Structure 1
């Protein structure tokens, strides 16, 4: 069920079981996988964080990166309750999923369940991840990379808004960030490429169970990577260029200023090829 976009009826016919039996099997396996969520989806410790930022710096020149963050929409059928709330900016019903990954495409944090109409920055705030934005979880002033949908802050570094007047140094910064941030696009592509039920309309009606199903797919994703089970054909999920609705007003001014100061320091060091020791 997870690996194909087939319906329950199709899968039940293939294995010669009833549709209700197929649903119960999926439900049991999802619950079993979800019970091991914190075993396989873990935040990097100090040693792992250093390995990540060393790899990213050597490959993309961008300093102190321990991961990248992005949101993705999981298509669903129109739910019975408040279906209008699930319609996203692209016009279809969806569940929002926020994913943070490392350079090996392993998922280090996932949050699923918000309706599709919610903005990425709002999902970030509702996810509770802000409580993890501490010096302990981000050693040596490290950070995540995000796209323009996320507000600038100390531990989430985003590109400059392209207003047509960026300096050469800012353009270079945006290019380095974009190249490094592709790790999360590849992670989402690998997740949906392996579990193609997430690419098509999810064959589930109960919106209270969908987040657990998505998290179970993420657990299996990490298990596959731990077992060195890769697939070659990865559909890269890249968001189209659209006007971004900024929600920077929700970020306290002092936190924004810390992020801006840090971003300017990175720009300076990238420009001078003295990569932010």
Structure 2
């Protein structure tokens, strides 16, 4: 429907047109008709809308009365984790009241955000449930996303020396391959629309998405996360344009003995070990080596499954700015780590979401392997019985 100002201008133009043309009697009749139409539309557009029925005191009374089981079923985190998050971000959710409606409380803002993150309900449904306008719902989601990431982003950090020693020990016990300090992989986060009509965001499976690149450790803790690249982008290109690539090439990520593990979509480097390409002529030892790498890579696949299983909104994000989308994804990554750190149940939320829409651009590596990387992989191969 046209905006009232534009509609009134159109009616005025039509009235003047009829006055300046045609027979006098016909002009008078049409002019009266347009005047009546103008008055009717004015009354319709200016009359207040019927109030939409909404739930009273859901966040204030109903949620606090929920059992621990019900709270976790709805919000996908334990109440203790919610309280930890609230304590960290509360100062950033308080605003000075300068008149008008009372501001939404920090508790209600966080509950609304977590409900949206944990479920796949629309913003319109949330405005009914939490008794706020749809514009307020959108403002809360975008604001809380930024605050959570900015306040909690320190939970996503590259492991220090002591932590790397622990990680490589655990991975060696799991796979038999020494000096692994992380597993890298990418996944696609589906969008509800194509941003600005840019077809680069449409991936090979013909739906719009953004790439999310993760490095995780043996506990599924995210140690590096990067998002924002369009869905058509190759995994290797995302890596080459990420911060860890430059640091690793400069020798500032891991020492020469250590490395991270990736699949065949990534280029072989001294710090990034990938499987041997199966051309039908692999030796038995090379096949065993590939299976050992695959057993390690299950950690990152489980981490992605947990991320999308716990925070189901990541299966399709309906925000309309790429900045908002990226902050929302990074906030989910921070919350994922916070849940692991606080031993918030993990297995309950593992699912096959990554298999459903995880990485449709699973192409072979498009960049040349480094000579030093091949030599390092050969040295590791010699350790395989």
User: What is the TM-score of this pair, normalised by structure 2?
Assistant: 0.66
Partner of residue 379, structure 2: 265
Partner of residue 247, structure 1: 366
Work out the CA distance in 2 between the residues paired with 1:114 and 1:136: 24
Work out the CA distance in 2 between the residues paired with 1:240 and 1:32: 29
Question: How far does residue 206 in structure 1 lie from its aligned partner after superposition?
Answer: 1.2
Within the alignment, does 1:190 sit opposite 2:309 as a pair?
Answer: no
RMSD: 1.8
Work out the CA distance in 1 between the residues paired with 2:302 and 2:211: 18
Work out the CA distance in 2 between the residues paired with 1:225 and 1:243: 28
Question: How far does residue 128 in structure 1 lie from its aligned partner after superposition?
Answer: 2.6
Work out the CA distance in 2 between the residues paired with 1:245 and 1:52: 28
Partner of residue 122, structure 2: 7
Within the alignment, does 1:214 sit opposite 2:329 as a pair?
Answer: yes
Question: How far does residue 243 in structure 1 lie from its aligned partner after superposition?
Answer: 6.7
Work out the CA distance in 2 between the residues paired with 1:191 and 1:19: 26
- How many aligned positions are there? 265
Preserved CA contact (<8 Å) 1:83 1:93: no
Preserved CA contact (<8 Å) 1:46 1:139: no
Work out the CA distance in 2 between the residues paired with 1:28 and 1:38: 15
Work out the CA distance in 2 between the residues paired with 1:67 and 1:80: 32
Report 1:228-243 matches (<5 A): 228-231=343-346, 232-236=348-352, 237-238=354-355
Question: How far does residue 140 in structure 1 lie from its aligned partner after superposition?
Answer: 5.5
Q: Which moved more, 1:18-27 or 1:103-112?
A: 18-27
Higher relative contact order (CA 8 A, sep 6+): 1
Preserved CA contact (<8 Å) 2:264 2:277: yes
After superposition, give the CA deviation of every residue in 1:188-207 in whole Å (9 maximum; x if it has no partner): 111111110012x2121112
Question: How far does residue 145 in structure 1 lie from its aligned partner after superposition?
Answer: 0.6
SS in 2 for 1:67: strand
Preserved CA contact (<8 Å) 2:186 2:359: no
Work out the CA distance in 2 between the residues paired with 1:94 and 1:241: 10
Preserved CA contact (<8 Å) 1:45 1:137: no
Work out the CA distance in 2 between the residues paired with 1:172 and 1:222: 32
Partner of residue 139, structure 1: 255
Q: Is there any run of 5+ residues in structure 2 with no aligned partner, and where?
A: 1-115
Partner of residue 213, structure 2: 98
Work out the CA distance in 1 between the residues paired with 2:267 and 2:196: 31
Match of 1:205 among 312, 320, 324: 320
Cα separation, partners in 2 of 1:19 and 1:124, compared to 1, 3 Å: same
Cα separation, partners in 2 of 1:192 and 1:241, compared to 1, 3 Å: closer
After superposition, give the CA deviation of every residue in 1:197-241 in whole Å (9 maximum; x if it has no partner): 012x21211122211110011011111111110232401424689
Match of 2:295 among 179, 186, 195: 179
Cα separation, partners in 2 of 1:140 and 1:84, compared to 1, 3 Å: closer
Within the alignment, does 1:110 sit opposite 2:225 as a pair?
Answer: yes
Within the alignment, does 1:40 sit opposite 2:155 as a pair?
Answer: yes
